[in-house]
Structure 1
Amino acid sequence: MASHSDKEKTLGDVLRSHGVSRRSFMKYCATTASMMAMSPAMIPMIAEALENAKKPSVIWLSFQECTGCTESLTRAGASTVENLIFDSISLDYHHTLQAASGHRAEEAKEEAMHENHGKYLLVVDGSIPMDNPGYSTIAGISNYDMLMEAAEGAAAIIAVGTCATYGGLPKASPNPTGAVSVSDLIKDKPIINVPGCPPIPVVITGVLTHFLTFGALPELDDLGRPKAFYGQSIHDRCYRRPFYDKGLFAETFDDEGAKAGWCLYKLGCRGPTTYNACATTKWNNGTSFPIESGHPCLGCSEPEFWDGGGFYKALSIPTADVGETVLYTAAGAAAAGVALGALNRATKGSANKAHEKVTLEDLEK
């Protein structure tokens, strides 16, 4: 938990102590204004507000999740202004990052909630199980009880990741834990949803920056997501869009179309129905994003994406039976590998088949 003296420091103090130049700081403010669709005239206001902002108390609760959201943020790369924005908050409780453990950790949370009642930001990642409290507890407290207690004194709630915003993987059919999202339970607090599996780091820091600057949440869409980052589909921002318009599609992951960078829609890309900033903000300090790396968008920032049908178009069709095993005509290496594995397992142990190996050529005949 941050010391009293640390909490009195402004963000400007923190940035200067880390050697961040005025030029770098103003560049970050300009980038933030651009990303959040603000007028350039707002840049000086953003800079002044951030420079004088005190460190807000943040309580971060992790429930049914994989820690991917925290990993996404903490592995954002070399030290940047974005990282320092995150570093400058008073992160008073976080299961993964806190140094304290056991009773001391819970005492720190209770102390932060009491001292900053009505002012702290509550960040939640992971879904909340409702069928049985024992599915996920912390310090003997059910996720539901911990969420409701922490939400009561929060100024606002940021649901980070698809599990917290929509229920995510835990909620996928058959949803054995009865998982629900934060917004399914909290109705009397402002909630901002930052979906993604995991979400883009700069989106999280962008939301924090907006709150530090204006003391309020950014404009949201009908799913509670910041419009600045989720206002357009990945398809509309995708550099492969011209190929879509021309009707040029990759048919398999390794055909000539794929090598030429054609549209991945026929390979299951969900870019047209997915709203996120991946195509412009990108990942790994702006290095790339899945489609640029040759993989279709999975639609992870949309509700029910785990139950929205298979991620990939079938690459094979059944052609013949061998005993109880179905052979497939492979249209790609992935499908061939599945068929090879199944057939080799089926013939393993048979005296007259033990010495044989099924080959890709056999499947293609």
Structure 2
Amino acid sequence: MTAPIGYFVHHQGRGHAERAAAIVSALTPDRPITFFTARAEIFPPLPPHADVIAIPSLFEPPATSPHGFDHDRTPDTLHCAPLGWQTITHAVATIAAWFDAARPGLFVTDVSAELAQLARIASVPHVAVLQHGDRADPGHMAAYEGAVGILAPYHASLEQPGRPAWMTAKTHYAPGVGIDARTLDRSEARAALGLPIDAEIVLAVGGGGGSGTPATPLTLGARAEPDSLWISIGEVQQEWHATPPDNLRHMGWVANPEQWIAAANRVVSSAGNTTVHMIAAAGRPWIVVPEWRYFDEQLWKARMLGAAGAAVTLDHWPSHALAWRDAWAAALACDLSRQTRLIDPKAAVTAAAWLDRLAGWRDAAQTPDLIVAERIA
């Protein structure tokens, strides 16, 4: 009997689900997978050996306003653990009941420090997905220390300083896992998208986990380059005082961001994990402007991209034309091979093999302690 793997997937943005689906699709078909998430629709197509159990959100209040102890102080060992939310009680009970019934070989958390600790308390080996950011707090460190492995969905060269040796010793790096690493031809991409073949195209890329790219800085950049075509994909924050020129187009959310990136000459983006790796795979002069995230996740990823020489990183969006000009000059001087080296086309395959090995300890029909328990009963 092959023990199943449980997999919690956070529903903010798309990256958590996309990398989870890529890894699971690379797993051997005889390893059953059960996903737990608050939004089943965020997944791309999944293989037959994977199923999805919908649970209430751990982060959004229930429809009925809680009372009593909801205002109580949260311990340092937890991040989001309000009291009195029946939705959280039900989600935790669903996962705990599955632990007991399925007897999994492994539980992966992408991401929840609370569920990582739940797995450890329930005596289920777990793997914690590691993201950039200030994560030396007791809650994160308890999740990492209690894990049998840590999965980092980025290249080891982007690892931020200060990680303890015991963390890096059990970390598996999966650079670019979840993206399509194939290099697309610029001319073919433009033809498919109906874009002019000879134009200088600047693409602004916003991820799905935040409020979007501010439109006003893009109007400044586009007006400073009247002979270029500026395009944005993803959410855009509009402001009343923005004066968009004719060479700026907002396309909104698109299903094929890799094709738009391939069509571009230059790219400016946020620092979401999926966004970063799609652009790195293409290799383009690149400006990164991090969005606000918990624990300064995007800020740290941007810092490490800058330290690796892969992109020009800014603390905030350019506020005038000269700032854009200086940033693009620095981006054009970057060695683009430093971007493409951040991607491993086999990242999903090697990550799946690593998880399969970790889960293999329970690949027996029954464990002796359970046999004894059943005989006593």
Normalising by the residue count of structure 2, what TM-score does the alignment of the two structures yield?
A: 0.32
Q: Return the structure number with greater helix share.
A: 1
Normalising by the residue count of structure 1, what TM-score does the alignment of the two structures yield?
A: 0.33
Q: Which has the larger radius of gyration?
A: 1
**Which structure is higher in RCO with an 8 Å CA cutoff and minimum separation 6?**
2
